[in-house]
Amino acid sequence: MVIIMTVLCLFLANNVTHARRQATYYVGGVYGWDTIIPMDTWARGKIFYAGDILEFKYDYLTSNVMVVNRTGYETCIANEGAKEYTSGDDRISLPYGLSYYIGTYDDADCSAGLKMAIRAIS
């Protein structure tokens, strides 16, 4: 019985000490939220978790970030109820599941690659 309790305590202690903390991702890396690179390319291969932070850095005079639904993402048109960010340094916490982001300040931004879909797991 003592051995079982010891093993159980060690197992629980290991899980508690290895709990994952939220990560912050700087969208676009050194380029920021910009059409220099397709944003879906930047996101490809990364594993995102619900609660992680996406930090969007951009020139607020020439760009924005819209959180849209799938239709908004596919059509590059912000849907009704879409959330707009315009500060130039926006931090957005990822919800569980799929989320979609597009740039709509200039009509050509989204179609030029200023959009990405992110799947956050738990």
Sequence ranges of the domains in the chain: 22-120
**Scanning the structure block, which residue is given the tokens 């290895």?**
18
- Position 44 pLDDT exceeds 60: yes
Tell me what pLDDT residue 5 has.
54
Type of residue numbered 54: L
Q: What is the mean pLDDT of residues 92-121?
A: 96
Q: Is residue 72 within 8 Å of residue 97, measured between CB atoms?
A: no
| Burial profile 38-58: b = 16 or more Cβ within 10 angstroms, e = fewer | ebeebbeeeebeeebebebbb
Instruction: Put the strands of the sheet holding 83-85 in their side by side order.
Output: 48-49, 115-121, 97-102, 65-68, 83-85
Digit-coded pLDDT (tens) for 62-73: 999 999 999 999
Considering the segment(s) 22-120 as one domain, its CATH architecture is: Sandwich (2.60)
Number of neighbouring beta carbons within 10 Å of residue 106:
14
Cα-Cα end-to-end distance for the chain: 34
